[in-house]
Amino acid sequence: MIVKEGRSVFKGVATGRIFVYRKAQTAVSREQVTDTAAELERYENAKRKALDQLKGLYEKALRDVGEEEAMIFDVHQMLLDDPDYNDSIHSIIENDRMNAEYAVFMTGEQLAAMFLNMDNEYMRGRAADVKDISERVMSILNGAQTDPEAMPEPVIVLAEDLAPSETVQFDKSKILAIVTQKGSANSHTAILARTMNIPSLVMTDIEPDLAYQGRRAVVDGFAGLLYIDPDEETMARMIEKKGGADAKRALLQEMKGKESVTKGGKHIHLYSNIGSVEDVDAVLENDSEGIGLFRSEFLYLGCDDYPDEELQFEAYRTVLSRMGGRKVIIRTLDIGADKQIDYFNLPKEENPALGFRAIHICLTREDVFRTQLRALLRASVYGALAIMFPMIISVKEVVRIRRLVEEVRLELERENIRVGEFELGIMIETPAAALISDQLAPLVDFFSIGSNDLTQYTLAIDRQNPSLDDFFDPHHEAVLRLIQTTCENAHRHGAWCGICGELGADMEMTAKFIQMGIDELSVSPGCTLELRKRIREC
């Protein structure tokens, strides 16, 4: 039995087999080969695997988003089987005696260049598809494994590190736990694991070696331990621990249908944080009163290109309809820092935590922002919508945002598209916003405190940097004073004030937040019932 230590970011016990997640190498090797027949076979095997993956993706997309969106994976299968594409690869391997990766890369580049030179717009669009299928085959050739769904049963994902754009692609029903060698407890990947309600370890003392592939393991998210090939005694202990956790969860079921009210009679709005439309299942299952933070950027992270107005409208409408009149706070796009999206083509930054991010991207790329606002305003007729803007630092920004929202509303009205009622709020997650919250409050309906970033920017401690995890202290007096100031200023000007950062779920702080006058707490769905119990004890 092997025992490895990590830092737990979500409690719970999971047992299952390990899936070693490995990213593709970005550099393409160029090598001469002597055994061209063997190299051709390597290519054919990789191609078969890629076709299988594409078939699976087609079926998944067909189920989840419909035929039109799924078609692209059908087109990719046809391109991968195209005789010209395959002849070119075979010729580079057989005649030039080059390795398969290089043959696929060169063919992809040449065909893409040819497509780009065509007059027909549809054919020009195929250039990206050829590159896409070539990258898929190359990543299979160089041993990347990024598809846990390919495993026959749900798995424990073991990775060096995971970007939010990677975690968001996982089919949640196929993941039992996540263990990473790197990563930080405050990163968005850790937050996603919490939303998925699965045990998760970061900074684990383990290399994601393929030797672990398929081996039985247990993740103990209470103790921060990973057991590989657990012995009988450990297995029995873990099953007992899991039983205890399940029993505790079962007991919490009695909190369903109860009010989130303190002994003194103060009602706290207890909402949930989500990252996708599918997360609404967990929200309803845990009897949450609303959604306090829908991180809309995860919708963008899950797409290969800018999600259009229709796709976004459908997502927002679905969430609002499914919540049946309960409040849904949707945060506009918050990308940048650790949430990078290739198709935005943002330049590399020296200091991403202080970089081009969130509202500053939206106010620079108004086209992208307006598309999202149109989708949101159109969806407003389907439920109790509130729109929230991230990373605000000035009054000027809020004034400009309000003007843009008004312009979009008028534009939709001119098009005879109905717009419903909605609230407007901002995130307080920079010290600047907290300190001028007296000036910001009259401009909004509510504040939602983003304690993750508020801690990062108040303490000048990068939330992504694992070596600073011990210094990342959301209980720091400076952070708490900013929260108190924000809450007081909100109330002074008739706005309400909630917390949607991870600190909202910290039960040690619940009584203090209630004393401060916090009106709402928004936490990952799995924490809802326990927090309701805590509120009722206060």
Q: Which residues are catalytic?
A: 188, 500
Q: Which stretch binds ligand PEP (CB under 6 A): 81-89, 201-209, 377-385, 450-458?
A: 450-458
Pair 300, 341: CB distance under 8 Å: yes
CA distance linking residue 435 with residue 289, whole number of Å: 30
Give CB contacts under 8 A, 24+ apart, made by 248-257: 252/529, 252/530, 252/533, 253/529, 255/287, 255/529, 255/530, 255/532, 255/533, 255/536, 256/286, 256/287, 256/529, 257/287
CA distance linking residue 452 with residue 429, whole number of Å: 7
Cα atoms in the 13 Å half-sphere on the side-chain side of 534: 18
**Residues pairing with 217 in the sheet:** 16, 228
Torsion sign across C-alpha atoms 206, 212, 214, 215: negative
Strand 384-389 and strand 175-180: pairing?
unpaired
Within residues 329-358, the interface with ligand PEP by CB under 6 A covers 334
Using CB under 6 A as the binding rule, whether residue 520 contacts ligand PEP is answered as: no
Using CB under 5 A as the binding rule, whether residue 101 contacts Mg ion is answered as: no
Q: Which stretch binds Mg ion (CB under 5 A): 16-24, 67-75, 116-124, 449-457?
A: 449-457
CB 384, min distance to ligand PEP, A: 20
Among 134, 139, 260, 452, indicate the residue that binds ligand PEP (CB under 6 A): 452
Taking the least distance from each CB to ligand PEP, the nearer of 312 and 332 is 332
Q: Which stretch binds ligand PEP (CB under 6 A): 29-37, 446-454, 465-473, 482-490?
A: 446-454
Q: Which does 295 bind (CB under 5 to 8 A by kind): ligand PEP, Mg ion, none?
A: ligand PEP
406-445 mask for ligand PEP (x: CB under 6 A)?
Answer: -----------------------x----------------
CB 488, min distance to ligand PEP, A: 20
Q: Which stretch binds ligand PEP (CB under 6 A): 7-15, 348-356, 409-417, 451-459?
A: 451-459
Among 295, 317, 357, 378, indicate the residue that binds ligand PEP (CB under 6 A): 295
Q: Which does 217 bind (CB under 5 to 8 A by kind): Mg ion, ligand PEP, none?
A: none
CB 11, min distance to ligand PEP, A: 20
Residue number with the smallest Cβ distance to Mg ion = 453
Q: Label residues 293-313 b or e (16+ Cβ within 10 Å = b).
A: bbbbbbbbbeeeebbebebbb
Q: Which stretch binds ligand PEP (CB under 6 A): 78-86, 367-375, 448-456, 464-472?
A: 448-456
Using CB under 5 A as the binding rule, whether residue 429 contacts Mg ion is answered as: yes
Q: Which of 275, 304, 305, 306 is nearest to 291 (CA)?
A: 275
Using CB under 5 A as the binding rule, whether residue 453 contacts Mg ion is answered as: yes
Strand 225-228 and strand 155-159: pairing?
unpaired
CB 251, min distance to ligand PEP, A: 29
Question: CB neighbours (10 Å) of residue 485?
Answer: 17
CB 391, min distance to Mg ion, A: 7
Helix (H, G, I), strand (E, B) or coil at 169: coil
Using CB under 5 A as the binding rule, whether residue 230 contacts Mg ion is answered as: no
Question: What amino acid occupies position 361?
Answer: I
CB 287, min distance to ligand PEP, A: 22
CB 284, min distance to Mg ion, A: 25
Residue 118, both tokens? 């065509």
CA distance linking residue 99 with residue 91, whole number of Å: 11
CB 531, min distance to Mg ion, A: 20
CA distance linking residue 195 with residue 526, whole number of Å: 7
Taking the least distance from each CB to Mg ion, the nearer of 220 and 429 is 429
Q: Taking CA 525 as the corner, what is the angle to CA 172 and CA 354, rounded to the nearest 5 degrees?
A: 85
Cα atoms in the 13 Å half-sphere on the side-chain side of 89: 28
Within residues 191-220, the interface with Mg ion by CB under 5 A covers none
Q: Which does 519 bind (CB under 5 to 8 A by kind): ligand PEP, Mg ion, none?
A: none
Write down how long the chain is. 538
Question: What amino acid occupies position 71?
Answer: M
Using CB under 6 A as the binding rule, whether residue 47 contacts ligand PEP is answered as: no
Residue 158, both tokens? 């073991």
CA distance linking residue 105 with residue 481, whole number of Å: 56
Within residues 495-514, the interface with ligand PEP by CB under 6 A covers 500-501
Q: How many residues bind ligand PEP (CB under 6 A)?
A: 11
Using CB under 6 A as the binding rule, whether residue 362 contacts ligand PEP is answered as: no
Kindly list the residues in this chain that would bind Mg ion in the complex (CB under 5 A). 429, 450, 453
Kindly list the residues in this chain that would bind ligand PEP in the complex (CB under 6 A). 191, 293, 295, 334, 429, 450-453, 500-501
